[in-house]
Amino acid sequence: MAFTFTARAVGAETYEDDECFIAGVAEHEDGSGRQLTFMCSLYEPEDQDIATGMDSYCLVTPGQGTAYGGVREAVLKDRVLRIVVDPSNLEALGLNDSEIEVILDVEETQIRQFREGLRRVLAYGRPSERPAILDL
């Protein structure tokens, strides 16, 4: 069964101090509740990142489950974000199913900003970790 929730907060923002770009959704308007966070560095991966497998974007799920890369599909259509992760990342992400579905209950301008931010994040790093299906 897919992990599903309604998001009432979405966003995409650069965090210069942390040297990262984040696109995310949250269940509640104040950013609390269930969340999905997609992050990437502001800089190209370094040798150490490549050596440790951290040379791609990062996905963080509720409970701080974390995986670098691993998004196989990302589709945003009719206010529904559908993410499919590689089954090999389920344990690291704390998920029972590889499909995540989020209904975006926010203004269209926020969805546009999130869509652009998610495109940026998922294009970062190792080409083999970029989604095979990307319809944002």
Over residues 75-103, the pLDDT tens digits come to 999 999 999 999 999 999 999 999 999 99
Closest CA to 40 of 31, 48, 32, 49: 49
The whole-number pLDDT of residue 1 equals 66
- Mean predicted lDDT score pLDDT of the chain: 94
- Please say whether the beta carbons of 7 and 102 come within 8 A: yes
pLDDT over threshold 80, residue 49 = yes
d(CA 103, CA 79): 6
Percentage of residues in the chain with pLDDT exceeding 70?
Answer: 99
Q: Provide CB contacts within 8 A for 127, sequence distance 6+.
A: none
* Mean pLDDT of the 39-67 span: 92
d(CA 112, CA 107): 9
Closest CA to 25 of 6, 41, 44: 6
d(CA 69, CA 59): 7
pLDDT over threshold 90, residue 3 = no
* Mean pLDDT of the 108-124 span: 97
**CA distance from start to end of the chain:** 23
The whole-number pLDDT of residue 2 equals 78
pLDDT over threshold 90, residue 50 = no
Closest CA to 27 of 4, 3, 2, 9: 9
